[in-house]
Structure 1
Amino acid sequence: MRLRSDLWVAAYLRRCNVEGASAYLRRRGAAEAGAIFVKIDRLDGQAALFGPAPQSLLGEGERLFVQAHKEDWLAPASIEARLRRELEFDTDLWIVEVEDRQGRNFLDLAAS
């Protein structure tokens, strides 16, 4: 059984803050199973977006993420456009934003 989205987000926000990154909840989604998207902003005009890994890559109870674009970093406006499209598709999703000049994401990433 996978950890509820609301509990995972609360723990992730604390982890980021403990590591010295500013993290905040931009959008609250479905508490139990809403998809979670994490925007990493380096504060230098570069950002990255991470979303849920495909189900085929997940083990029992895992919550893994994949980068939502091929490039390492994009302009924040591109990330915002992608988030708008995701919201049109799924209104229950969560959006977390992390501001970290080093670009750290603190996520468990699926092997590519």
Structure 2
Amino acid sequence: MWPPSVRLTPSARTKLRLRTDFWIAALIRRAQQAGAFATIARKGASESGAIFVAVYRPDRSIDLYAPAPQAMLDDDGERRFMPVLAGADALAVADRMDSETRFDSDLWQVDIDDNEGRPFIEVIPDPMA
């Protein structure tokens, strides 16, 4: 229960979000429990950094997922992602991440190496596809 000095409306409670570092630790554990290898490639702000997920496939192609735009999200506080690169090579991913880092230096990058190419995140369809 919330302390008496902190009174949150029901809508404010639904907007609370788990710290980024905790969320990423859970993502890594989820991937590892399923037999994938996951690691933090770039560490950002512990409390609220944006998260990018790169999924390495057996053929060494990479799928990159970025945070979904806020306008596309439900108000449940869950993190959702959308694909930004599919079947890309390492250079394309590095270029994209360099660009993103120039825009937001507090972002995180999690790399997942999975034989099945699973991202272990909630992916929404790209509206431009």
TM-score, with length taken from structure 2: 0.80
How far apart, in 1, do the equivalents of 2:60 and 2:45 lie? 30
Q: C-alpha deviations, 1:65-84, integer Å up to 9, x for none?
A: 00013xx3111211111011
Cα RMSD for the two superposed structures = 1.2
Is 2:80–2:123's contact at 8 Å kept on the other side of the alignment? Answer: yes
Is 2:83–2:125's contact at 8 Å kept on the other side of the alignment? Answer: no
Q: Percent identity?
A: 41
How far apart, in 2, do the equivalents of 1:68 and 1:88 lie? 17
Segments of structure 2 that go 5 or more residues without pairing to the other structure are 1-15
- Give the 4+ runs in structure 1 shifted more than 4 A: none
How far apart, in 2, do the equivalents of 1:33 and 1:86 lie? 16
Pick from 18, 21, 27 the counterpart of residue 3 of structure 1. Answer: 18
Segments of structure 1 that go 5 or more residues without pairing to the other structure are none
How far apart, in 1, do the equivalents of 2:125 and 2:78 lie? 13
Cα deviation for residue 101 of structure 1 reads 2.1
How far apart, in 1, do the equivalents of 2:106 and 2:89 lie? 25
TM-score, with length taken from structure 1: 0.92
Higher RCO (C-alpha under 8 Å, 6+ residues apart): 1
Is 1:40–1:104's contact at 8 Å kept on the other side of the alignment? Answer: yes
Greater C-alpha Rg:
2
- What is the one-letter code of the residue matched to 2:39? Y
| 2:67 aligned with 1:52 | yes
How far apart, in 2, do the equivalents of 1:81 and 1:45 lie? 17
| 2:47 aligned with 1:62 | no
Count of aligned pairs: 110
Is 1:27–1:96's contact at 8 Å kept on the other side of the alignment? Answer: yes
